[in-house]
Amino acid sequence: MQKNSKYVIEKHRNLVEACAQDDRNAQIEIYNLYYKAMYNTSLRIVNDSFFAEDIMQEAFLDAFSKIKTFEWRSSFGSWLKRIVINKSLDSIKKETNLIPLNEDTNDFIAENDTQDFEDIECKVEEVKIAFKSLRENYRVILSLHLFEGYDHQEISQILDLPYNNVRVRYLRARRKLVEIIIRSRN
């Protein structure tokens, strides 16, 4: 297994280096390796398939134009995902009149005050529908944490928000998601 993962890393390194030399075939191969994941990342944030498609395309164009600056401090996929997330967040800011991402105050919500999400059995479709109905501020936080795997500190840095605001908003978003699911069952 380790031998195989080393091969994948080296293959991706070779592809990225070829992309830096403007090798169109390597760019197509990188695109084919990552486009589905990047599209899904954007879609979960912007909640619109057309915007997500545009964002994903723009992210690849940006990545290919800046690929010479990529320094391998993270995986190429992580670097590309960060571009997609930033473009998705920028799109939300431009296209909607949202309550600013830093609108939540430092209101404290005790962890034991929230409903235990794990105790609620629900169908995947219920979750998808409920997730789409969340306002952007909540959907972004949940998406970054649950689907993209970022912890609260990383989300704090991505959104340029204080850690406690991210934590509170995550708890509120999770609670709201559960409420929507419960309400849809009644």
Q: Are residues 88 and 123 in the same domain?
A: no
Structural domain including 142 reads: 111-185
Q: Are residues 85 and 120 in the same domain?
A: no
The torsion defined by the Cα of 116, 119, 120 and 125, in degrees rounded to 10, comes to: 100
Write down the pLDDT at residue 11.
62
Q: What is the pLDDT along the chain (186 residues), one digit of tens a residue?
A: 344 555 445 567 888 899 899 889 999 999 999 999 999 999 888 888 888 999 999 999 999 999 988 888 878 888 999 999 989 888 887 765 444 444 444 444 444 444 445 444 446 677 778 888 888 888 888 888 888 888 888 888 888 888 888 889 899 988 898 888 888 877
Inter-residue contact 38 to 56 (CB < 8 Å): yes
Report which secondary-structure segment, H or E, holds 98: none
pTM of the predicted structure, to 2 decimals: 0.65
- Residue 119 sits in a domain whose CATH number is 1.10.10.10
Tokens linked to 186: 């009644």
Q: Are residues 66 and 150 in the same domain?
A: no
In a domain, 150, yes or no: yes
User: CA-to-CA distance for 133 and 111, rounded, in angstroms?
Assistant: 24
Final residue in a domain of this structure, among 95, 125, 147: 95
Residue 151, Cβ neighbours under 10 Å: how many?
Answer: 11
Provide the 8-state DSSP code for 14.
Answer: H
Q: How many domains does the chain have?
A: 2
Q: Which residue has the tokens 């840095």?
A: 157
In a domain, 66, yes or no: yes
Write down the pLDDT at residue 84.
93
Q: Are residues 143 and 72 in the same domain?
A: no
Write down the pLDDT at residue 152.
87
Q: Are residues 46 and 13 in the same domain?
A: yes
Write down the pLDDT at residue 127.
78
